[in-house]
Amino acid sequence: MSTTPRRTRRTWRVACSTVALALGASLLAACGSGGGAGGAATESDTLTVALALKPQSLDPGKNGNGGQNIVHWLSYEPLIRHNSDGTFSPGLATEWGYVGEGNQAFEMTIRTEAKFADGTPVTAQSVADTINHYVANPGPLSHFLTGVDGAEVKDEQTVAVNLSAPNPILPIVFSQSSNWGNVISPAGLANPEKLTSETFGAGAYVMDTAETVDGDHYTFVPNENYWNPEAIHWERVVVRVLPDTNAALQALQSGQIQVDMNTTAEVVDQARQISDAEVVEGSGAVQAMFLMDRAGEVAEPLGDVRVRQALNHAVDRESIATALGGDYTPTAQIAPVGTDGHDDSLDDTYAYDPELAREMLAEAGYADGFEIDALSISLFQTDTLAQAVASQLAEVGVTLNVKSDGADLNQLISDMASREYSAVFFNAGTGMFTNALQNFASPASPLNPFASQGDEVIGAFDALALAPEAEAEAAAVDLNRAVVEQAWFVPLIQSSSYAFTRGIDNVGTVGNAGALDVLSWTPAS
């Protein structure tokens, strides 16, 4: 991330152009019911998107991240746009940056011409009120607000963010990728109970509640008060939920949808065989067994680093990747290729060696093995992955009892919060500081219910939080190395992120956190 000094501020200035929206998959009929602005929408002016999961909530502060966020990124204008090429561009903020050193003071200049969908102006006060609302009402992604105490209006156009601890990723935090950049209108803040059924943003589109059924399909029409009308290319955007990967791919092939985000590595080759389809590839994710109970509160053996390291030696990553097929590769680290924490050498840390694993378990006092209760989900072959790991751990005497929560993320979060399960099979990715907040460093994260501690890992995390930009990448690698050496995870495989599209131009790429430049997409010429 480049910086331009202005007074004592580190500032990012970029031209307003594309909007990065991370989409999820869903089946959408191109001839679905309901008209767009100015009359009935036709197939050519309807953007159809397939989403793998229903949103956890229509309230942007209560939703998770990933593809489900399309419902917010269409209807809520972010303060800062996170573009698919990794850059940032203006949303409701025209200028932003850290003030001074240490990543503990941040300011944003708010554009003057923007309005919410109900016609009321976007002001510095409405931005500050929104940030304070998010801080006061924690949600699934509150860990990204680490260090943020609130916001205040500094002058007519400037919002100052108050921090009690360093947070070096605030451009991402206040973008659409982390939800906290989605500004809510005064009407929405005054009626928070309505945030779960209506949209109160300043985005390019407004949800048509008459043509929406929560959990099945969501319909959006243009916002006539959008500050940048040239970015609206569709009379209607409809998103429907289709968890089945193969069904989504068939829908793309038959022309029922134009964007398939319910994608996995094993169906990429099939997508490439579809006439006129475009396979868009970008930075990916690591699938891993998260050893959440790192202090051994429920499964006592996990409190011993030798046991956690033994589990890493007990899994045959190569055979798992081969068995799953597609574009999977084995990995022993949680930072995917292409992210700032990745280090190729770390993949050699844990060779497959079940005999060594048994020796290490015996040395730690568990020659007779032990049991681990773990969680999984049915998406992205995660259940299959969990069963493969359970079979391999059984070879060294460890019994892995796996409960699948299907495609229900809310149930998964509830089960993790119960602290009855010591491990979960899930994905890790993105830049290392964001990765850390999401997966192990923040006690506010659903994926860290046991509030992990450890001088080696947390010390490296704190060093990354304070690192000046020139030293941040080295600090990110140090943090990843500490996590690998302390074996807080059993990383397994990684693959790229994909989007399959058909019938649209200006697709771009898949960026960090699945970002896509959706507002640049136009009907195929």
Among 189-203, 210-224, 509-523, the minimum mean pLDDT is found in 509-523
Domains of the chain by range and CATH?
4-277+502-523 (3.40.190.10), 284-496 (3.10.105.10)
Beta carbons within 10 angstroms of residue 498's beta carbon: 22
- 38: alpha, beta or left? (left if phi > 0; alpha if psi -120 to 50): left
- What number is the average pLDDT over the span 294-303? 95
Categorize the per-residue pLDDT at 43 as very low, low, confident or very high, splitting at 50, 70 and 90. low
Among 22-36, 181-195, 286-300, 435-449, the minimum mean pLDDT is found in 22-36
Measured CA to CA, the distance from residue 26 to residue 212 in angstroms comes to 14
Categorize the per-residue pLDDT at 66 as very low, low, confident or very high, splitting at 50, 70 and 90. low
Residue 232 has pLDDT above 70, yes or no: yes
Instruction: Check residue 64 and give its pLDDT.
Output: 67
Residue 290 has pLDDT above 60, yes or no: yes
Is 127 strand, coil or helix?
A: helix
Instruction: Check residue 90 and give its pLDDT.
Output: 96
Contact 225, 117 (CB under 8 A): yes
Residue 275: which residues within 8 A CB-CB, separation 6 or more? none
Among 118-122, 169-173, 270-274, 323-327, the minimum mean pLDDT is found in 323-327
Residue 6 has pLDDT above 80, yes or no: no
- What number is the average pLDDT over the span 495-503? 83
Comparison of pLDDT for 480 and 279, the residue scoring more: 480
Instruction: Check residue 18 and give its pLDDT.
Output: 24
Ranked by mean pLDDT, the top range of 12-16, 79-83, 176-180, 326-330 is 79-83
Comparison of pLDDT for 454 and 101, the residue scoring more: 454
Instruction: Check residue 332 and give its pLDDT.
Output: 95
- C-alpha dihedral, 464 to 469 to 472 to 473, nearest 10°: 160
- What number is the average pLDDT over the span 292-320? 95
- What number is the average pLDDT over the span 308-312? 97
Instruction: Check residue 204 and give its pLDDT.
Output: 95
Comparison of pLDDT for 403 and 22, the residue scoring more: 403
Categorize the per-residue pLDDT at 302 as very low, low, confident or very high, splitting at 50, 70 and 90. very high
Comparison of pLDDT for 94 and 451, the residue scoring more: 94
- What number is the average pLDDT over the span 264-282? 82
**pLDDT tens, residue by residue, 506-515:** 888 777 666 7
R_g of the chain computed on alpha carbons: 23
Amino acid in position 246: N
- What number is the average pLDDT over the span 315-320? 94
- What number is the average pLDDT over the span 125-146? 92
Among 8-22, 43-57, 167-181, 352-366, the minimum mean pLDDT is found in 8-22
Instruction: Check residue 401 and give its pLDDT.
Output: 96
Instruction: Check residue 359 and give its pLDDT.
Output: 96
Ranked by mean pLDDT, the top range of 54-58, 248-252, 364-368, 450-454 is 364-368
Comparison of pLDDT for 3 and 203, the residue scoring more: 203
Is 11 strand, coil or helix?
A: strand
**Encoded tokens for 372:** 């681990």
Share of the chain above pLDDT 70, in %: 90
Measured CA to CA, the distance from residue 31 to residue 314 in angstroms comes to 51
Residue 57: which residues within 8 A CB-CB, separation 6 or more? 63, 139, 196
Measured CA to CA, the distance from residue 387 to residue 400 in angstroms comes to 9
Residue 180: which residues within 8 A CB-CB, separation 6 or more? 61, 131, 134, 141, 144, 145, 173, 174
**pLDDT tens, residue by residue, 74-114:** 999 999 998 888 889 999 999 999 988 778 889 999 999 99
Amino acid in position 307: V
Residue 152 has pLDDT above 90, yes or no: yes
Amino acid in position 50: A
394 alpha carbon, distance to own chain's centre:
32
Name the DSSP letter for residue 337.
T
Instruction: Check residue 67 and give its pLDDT.
Output: 64
pLDDT, averaged across the chain: 85
| DSSP-assigned states of every residue in 468-504 | -GGGHHHHHHHHHHHHHHHT-EEEEEEEEEEEEE-SE
